[in-house]
Structure 1
Amino acid sequence: MIRALWLAAGLGLAGQAAQAGCADAPEPCEIETGIYHIELPQAENPPLVVFLHGYGSSGANVMKNRGMVDRLLARGYAVMAPAGAERVGRRGRSWNFYPGWEGRDETAFLTAVVSDAAARFGVDDDRVVLSGFSAGGFMVNYLACDAPDTFSAYAPVSGGFWRPHPVSCEGPVRMFHTHGWTDNVVPLEGRQLGGGRFIQGDIFAGLEIWRAANECLDNRPDGFSKTDQFMRRKWTRCAEGSALEFALFPGGHMVPKGWADMMLDWYEGLPGG
């Protein structure tokens, strides 16, 4: 089946800490359509980072990446790791975003888990960054394209669109995309799977789609910077309230060291961030 062709095998998120469940409870939080893991900072009504796992992985594995999770918590953010849907006859979980697939409505599911966390734990559901790695990053892109007002910002890592690329997206977004120069699982140019039946999209073509959605006046970036290992470029002459930035790092298919602080610095620098 198509789902067997998913490229992003493994999350690449190792850690030392015990598995986080439903805040202080050991088991994950559960709603009608799925489960999620969450950890809370020492703050009331905190903003939230929702991080989606890669193909075949789990929310529990996301929470084991203490280098990322602890930095987000230290900055005052709650951290949620929902679980993708189980795949019949396959091991592990993934996300239902590929055009034409049937399955769980992931936008409805992710909206529901955030609403549940707001009711249970008091997280601020008006300040939510949706992020994810690999297949989770693809999910972030498709949700942001189809329903850009669902969350306040989007920060995919190592994931974009599949070919054929979307013709257009619904509207302006606040998007921070991070990718590895030597990523050979989701190369910048994309790659073929299943004998060419399925083709990952080109990351730079995806950025062009986002520039169009954000009504940017020019394809050319108007801002360049460097943060540690990250080479960054951004487009600011775009629709009011939108944001678009791309960070390239020299490594491969991974969530790179330093990503959490860089992403939050970007988010907090946005109006209302």
Structure 2
Amino acid sequence: MKRWFGAFCVLLFLSSLTFAQGGVKKTRLPPRYYGKVVIHNYSVQARLAPVGFDHWLHRSKFTCRLCHVDLGFAMSANATDIKAADNMNGDYCGACHNGKSKFDDKKIFPACAQQPVAAEQQKTCERCHSEGKGITPSEDFSTFVATFPKKRFGNGIDWIEGESMGLLKLVDSLDGVNSKSKLFKNPGDSIITPQVKGMPDIIFSHDKHGVWNGCELCHPEVFPSVEKGKAAVYSMNEIFEGKYCGACHGKVAFPMVECQRCHAKPVASN
């Protein structure tokens, strides 16, 4: 059974590296670029390079819930209509990038400035509007991940284990912008039985996901609530299309080619 499961994962991995949806050839990105988003809604009009947003850098400091729930960032690239005026008003990036907020006792640089931009401000603009300009990042990915437990895919590290080891100190609240979310009782681990015979059950940890997402990032938009006593049905095709688990996994969280990280419950031998 282990041999069958291993062969299945290898085939899934090879097919996912070769072709994306629609038969487009995919290239496996270096770990530091995994999860990177290029934001270009208004950059061209402002005669600026697109913004190169590194998820690894921001998720090393903040929870996903803080940005995608409290600050209102959409879950799809370029779906948030961010303007410079919004940032200068303290919204979106400007909630932290305001020249006043601190992380590890260091001030976070301001996100935007009024046009035309003064010469001394241009370098600050390029810290975000850096795509295609060959600008050296302010923080080095290799140095950051050096002490983290390693994994094969995605960013090449185990974020969950790193957080449990105390390597991360995640910020989950900002003064004046937090949503008044209802406290939920953690239901603990859930066991999800696959429809494919012989495939190990999924062990879904609400604890591990809750650290990053809270409850409201996933429910009810990503995972609609179901009636008590009724089982929700998810398909791998839907997940690969970006629904359910695929809203994060394969984009920022580790990709679905690491089957055993979800399908973790041993299959009973006959």
* TM superposition score normalised by structure 2: 0.27
Whichever structure has more strand as a proportion of its residues is 1
* TM superposition score normalised by structure 1: 0.26
Higher-RCO chain (CA-CA 8 Å, sequence separation at least 6):
2
